[in-house]
Structure 1
Amino acid sequence: MSKNIYTEFQIKELEKNPNIINASERSISYNPEFKTKAIKAYKKGKSPSQIFIEHGFNLEIIGKEQPKRCLQRWRDTFEKFGEDGFLTERRGKGSTGRLSSKPQTVEDQLRKAEARIQFLEAENGLPKKAGRVRKAGGEKEIILSAAEKFYLIEKTIRTYQLKKAVSYLCKLAGVSRSGYYDWLKASPIRELREEQDDLDIELIKTIFLSKKEKVGALQIKMIMENDYSAVMNHKKIRRLMAKYSLFAKIRRANPYRKVAKATKEHLTCPNLLNREFKQKEPGKILLTDITYLYYGKGQKTYLSCVKDAATKEIVTYHLSTSLDMNIVYETLNKLRQAVNYEFHPSAILHSDQGFHYTHPLFQNKVMELGLTQSMSRKGNCWDNAPMESFFCHFKDLAEYKTCTNLTDVREEVDRVIEEYNVCRYQWGLKKMAPVQYRDHLLAV
């Protein structure tokens, strides 16, 4: 390999010479026939520089010392192997540039076998989570990344004091030798990153634990920005959470859940909302529904809520131990008080086709408040999706199952809904909490 670094123009000039096979920034591959001619001319007394000049080489480009270095190397090869040595010469990174004449000894074979065994033992001892599992031929297989293989090679060499085994282990692991050395050189950078990760995860962990392990990367990012004045990319947060095993306790879909059937279809109302949940006017679209909460030793209570579709704020709610009509009547009374007896002139109250909302008395009360009633299609929970979504989030956040009496359940409901309205920042609300977003829309 030449000590010079050739420019693109110089490479093109070199490749015009028929005695050169190819050229790159750091090396020149010479034609074996030229090597043979050069050696014969050199033995007759010609100087290396004269030989190269006679064959069309520009010493200003290749360097004045290059002919001498080449002739010395070619002479050794020619004396050992003759002209055939130039035809079978090994070149490339990690090569000596000469034909290898040394046969593999028994000691070399034993050394490689030992290195292989020790590498495979280290690979088997690697935690399974370090690899990615896929199905191959019906069986699970651990696939290691290049960085994980480099780590195993380094560990094997360091633990067993294996010398001159880098090339063999890299070949065994299916990675490049240069890549391994690049990985070693980057060790200080990795250490700095590890130190930074250890610092960054502390704030993430603080938020994660304060929210009882029920928030994900996007929630944590918004809490950081609003409550801690800290900025961090949500992809980095997600990476760190996975790295340090911070997994949110999320809900799981219940495949056996059934949508309640309406009992009085002749009193249902048309679906005026038609899933147009994204409103820009607070108070225009109000969504309502009822869910059940189990606490204590199998005791049950019911939560009725009204949600503003524009701001996602829970405008009002009522907790009851009974599922009779009073639960929705009380909800309407609290709703009227929450809006200070002033509804949006085009306000719509949207619900499913449950028997509470199809009841004639309830519909009359809705009309008296000046609200237009809308209902989801029969058996289609997606038509009231934001309300269903809130109940799912609520059950993730609330610790009502640990409560032993109704008073504790009521306090927990108050706490969670207050936190949801005031402190739960949402990506779809420009990273604001529902109350903040309501004030924002009103200001606009």
Structure 2
Amino acid sequence: MSNKTFTDKEINLLSKNQYVKSVSSKGITYTDEFKRIFISENEKGKLAREIFEEYGFDIDVIGMKRVKSASNRWRTAFKENGELGLRDTRSINSGRNVERELTLEEKNTRLEAEINLLRAENELLKKIRFLRREDEELVISPSQKYTLIRSIIEKFRLKHMVTYLCKIAGVSRSGFYNYFSIKSQERRKQQDKKDEILKENILKAYRFKRYKKGARQIKTTLAGQFKIVYNLKRIRRIMKKYGIVCPIRKANPYRRMMKATKEHRVVPNRLNRQFKQGVPGKALLTDITYLKYGKSQKAYLSTILDSSTNEIMAYHISDRLTMELATDTLRKLKKNRNYRKVKGALIHSDQGTHYTHPDFQKLVKKLGLIQSMSRRGNCWDNAPQESFFGHFKDEASIKSCQNLDELNKEIKHYMKYYNHYRYQWKLKQMTPVQYRNHLLKTA
């Protein structure tokens, strides 16, 4: 179940969808008709995301976590009971008596307890803020929530509030009682003692010969130097528990995201190296490169190049390799007055995370372009774009720039020079802009 709550604006937007039965700040109830449609479309091979978008749901509003949990639940129900399993029978089968109306004093007590719990959660988030990366979402674990609930109950002397506070915190009541049982506490103490011994051994290998190591190097060092054999999963668990981090060769977060979400989609190589189409705007190429400047500073440049004329149609510079680097370049292409839409126009790239991302692919469709991708690990499929980056790095004075503003000015100056004044032998000894005008006249 997703922890995402809906705003009043989002609730109003979702309630207008004909396939929504009811919606609150915490969840959606879909119609039985939509569930049947989903199963039917899903069996044809459509992805859950595609089905939801096709029937008017904004994924950014409802969230992929909620989409996945709903689709898994419906598939399981359909597999076990067929179409009957998709029916919402809660109102029919509910045998509980209607809860009595709370007194004003009880309502106030509940509200105070909820406010105090939220305050405690905010305090905890402040404490753990520096233990995580800036771009990573802060998440409170169930064990931390159980501790907060207990501290709130003891501090404010609240009685019969466990069920209510567990519901507010999004944890189970049985889990709360189990966490503080004598058996569980004793088991955790014993586990902590064992983990302390494991931690000391792992740190020996981690610090061996001064060089920092990752989990696999620690495992082999423990076995080779200290004759200690630990499972790789155990080593990773202890490293995570005690914050032992290898500072080098960290896993690529974008690649991990791709595997986890399965939203990223590779498209075929539709361009097939047919770079010279003879029509400006027919075949566009895009890519990202890094630029080193100043005192070991790094920036990233994203460009869109017209392969028929070699003209740079749009570019964007950033000091961070974010998703916006690719999407902002596309938006700049749309604003370019010299860009003309051509029927059947392609935009070609490699299989990088930025170009397989749903947001980029959605924007490509919105601009009326057909997407094409190079074969995996084949730079020749995007040769003109790679060639441009090579000439650009050789000719522009990038290393002499001391800050991002200077770099921006240098790149802007070079792009103007490249498009308007740099003559190219293969363009009939014309500049890209001259060659574009030449093609338009002869068309």
TM-score with structure 2 setting the length: 0.40
Q: Larger Cα Rg: Structure 1 or Structure 2?
A: 1
Higher RCO (Cα < 8 Å, 6 or more apart): 1
TM-score normalised to structure 1 length: 0.40
